[in-house]
Amino acid sequence: MSFPVFPVLTKDVTVHRNEKDFLISHIGDEVVLMDVKDGRYISVNQVGSNIWNLMERPVTISSIITTLIETYDIEEEQCEHETLAFLNKIQEHNMLIVL
């Protein structure tokens, strides 16, 4: 049994959200998605939705972190850690395109 190998995400990587295989709905600041291939639902919280919205166009992870620090009262180190964790998670769901 082989597991998919995803590119390693670092601050200088450029990413773009993958909407192709998803049905998407915006509820307030939250985003609800369904993978049309397997019918799986994914609910993204407010901060995650903010990141999702920032990836409407290709963007570097460092600029996402900068925007989040400006928006939320958060330390850079913590922001980087949580942003990368979120991006890794959505990458596993095929919701991320790494350029």
CB atoms within 10 A of CB 52: 21
CA–CA separation, 25 vs 69, rounded Å?
26
For residue 23, the surrounding DSSP H or E stretch is: strand 22-27
| Residue ranges in 70-99 that form contacts with another protein under rule CB under 8 A | none
Closest to another protein by CB, 81 or 93: 93
Structure tokens at 45: 């919280």
Closest to another protein by CB, 26 or 81: 26
Minimum Å gap between C-beta 17 and another protein is 16
Strands, E assignment, the chain: 14-17, 22-27, 30-35, 41-44, 59-60, 96-98
Q: Is 4 in the site for another protein (CB under 8 A)?
A: no
| Residue ranges in 21-60 that form contacts with another protein under rule CB under 8 A | 23-30, 32, 34, 36, 39, 41, 43
Minimum Å gap between C-beta 43 and another protein is 7
Residues that bind another protein (CB under 8 A): 23-30, 32, 34, 36, 39, 41, 43
